Amino acid sequence: MRLRSVPLGVAVLCLFAVAIALTMSARSFARSSSVPAWLQAHVGEGEGQIAQVVLERARALYLKKVSEGSVKNPCYFAMDATRPGDLGNSVLGRRYYIICEAEQSFRAVSAGHGGGRNLKGVADFSNGRRCAKNFGNAMDSELTAGGAYMTADTKTSFKGYYRTAAKQDAVFMRSFVQFDGEGETANARQRVIGGHPAALLRGMCLLKKPQSSYADHDGFVPFGKLVNYAGGRSNGCTSWSPSDAQLIIPMIKDNPTTLYVYPESRDIAAIARKAASRQSLSSAGLYWNASCLKEIGAPKYWPKQTLEPIIAQYKQDHPAPPPQPVPICKGP
């Protein structure tokens, strides 16, 4: 077959057209990857807003997982654990973000941070109700670990019965969403880190209820007082108020998405250095909630390589007492 020659001018024009098309395509991608104006309007450090660095990292993680094909959910999550969880007067700080760009939806809700532990005489890595000072990824540390997560399987379990205001016995079921992490959060499944409603049963006893499908072979069921601890701390998991959990959990059931938790260890190290030198964070391009930073002084990250041997030794030196049998409920 004889090839026909193409005039030089035509070839140049074709190449120029291709170059323009590629440039326009790249610009289109850049626009789609940049924060849209409606979402940028929610950026800030005020109550109900999201800090720029938190949004940028959460969005980058989500877009990465979408491009890899591992996420098809139209929504993604972020959490800013540097913000206060308790604003006082029974008002909770909104620091967990639900972002659905397709429908231009942004919502900020409350979420608990890891309470940590105080191994008396050995190491104190506990956190108060309002602000978190200590972070880490060690087993049994009960600390929040910042970084990248993916929501995974959801398990709903029977926890027992409780008495309602109408003096009726109601079943308490609680769902738990397992998180899978990467990098510093890669041991999330091993640590049983996930999300769940901030509710539990306390003061447990065994209630005779042989007609219940949950009764044991002797006809007893666990019974307790339902407690909402949305204003409290967690064991390292992300805890939502029961009403917010009813919104969040169905969104991710069999439809995983991303969660980015700020701060990571690199952020904590940088903030701690600046806090020690009393330098301005904003001038260094760093971020931490100002109110909480004033309260905690300087944050600290406890890596598992350092903390896990300490916890293991403490367990060995302070063995837990043998479990006591759950008592039989008294009264009606």
Predicted local confidence at residue 276, as pLDDT: 73
Q: Output the six-digit token pair for 134.
A: 């200590």
* More confidently predicted of 87 and 17: 87
Residue 225 has pLDDT above 60, yes or no: yes
Question: 3-class DSSP state for residue 242?
Answer: helix
Asked if 290 contacts 45 with a C-beta cutoff of 8 angstroms, the reply is yes
Predicted local confidence at residue 282, as pLDDT: 75
The residue assigned the tokens 């938790």 is 261
Predicted local confidence at residue 231, as pLDDT: 79
* More confidently predicted of 198 and 166: 198
Predicted local confidence at residue 37, as pLDDT: 97
* More confidently predicted of 15 and 38: 38
Q: 147 — phi, psi (to 5°)?
A: 140, -160
Which strand (E) or helix (H) includes residue 58? helix 52-68
Strands in the chain per DSSP E: 75-80, 86-88, 91-92, 94-100, 105-110, 118-119, 123-124, 134-136, 147-163, 169-181, 194-197, 199-208, 220-228, 238-240, 258-262, 300-302
Q: Global pTM? A: 0.87
The residue assigned the tokens 């990824």 is 137
Beta-carbon neighbour count of residue 236 at 10 Å?
A: 27
Residue 26 has pLDDT above 80, yes or no: no
Predicted local confidence at residue 25, as pLDDT: 33
Predicted local confidence at residue 332, as pLDDT: 65
Contacts of 281 by beta carbon, 8 Å cutoff, 6+ apart: 271, 274, 287, 288, 293
Asked if 166 contacts 156 with a C-beta cutoff of 8 angstroms, the reply is no
Asked if 83 contacts 289 with a C-beta cutoff of 8 angstroms, the reply is yes
Summarize pLDDT for 27-50 with one digit per residue, the tens: 333 334 689 999 999 999 999 999
Summarize pLDDT for 163-190 with one digit per residue, the tens: 998 889 999 999 999 999 999 999 999 9
From residue 321, how far is each of 160, 249, 287, 315, 324 by CA, in Å?
24, 36, 43, 11, 9
Question: What is the rounded distance in angstroms from the CA atom of residue 115 to the CA atom of residue 132?
Answer: 8
Summarize pLDDT for 255-310 with one digit per residue, the tens: 999 999 999 999 999 999 887 777 778 777 899 999 999 999 999 999 999 999 99
What b-and-e string marks burial along 251-278, b requiring 16 or more CB atoms within 10 Å of the CB?
A: ebeeebbbbbbbbbbebbebbbebbeee
Residue 4 has pLDDT above 50, yes or no: no
Q: Domain segments of the chain: what residues?
A: 32-152+178-191+243-317
Question: What is the rounded distance in angstroms from the CA atom of residue 145 to the CA atom of residue 237?
Answer: 9
**pLDDT average, residue stretch 193-206:** 96
Question: 3-class DSSP state for residue 213?
Answer: coil
Question: What is the rounded distance in angstroms from the CA atom of residue 315 to the CA atom of residue 308?
Answer: 11
Q: Output the six-digit token pair for 230.
A: 């949305």
Write down the mean pLDDT value for the chain.
Answer: 89
**pLDDT average, residue stretch 129-147:** 97
Question: What is the rounded distance in angstroms from the CA atom of residue 225 to the CA atom of residue 78?
Answer: 32
Contacts of 127 by beta carbon, 8 Å cutoff, 6+ apart: 113, 114, 115, 116, 133, 134, 143, 233
Question: What is the rounded distance in angstroms from the CA atom of residue 152 to the CA atom of residue 23?
Answer: 38
Predicted local confidence at residue 153, as pLDDT: 96
Q: Output the six-digit token pair for 256.
A: 């995983």
**pLDDT average, residue stretch 119-131:** 96
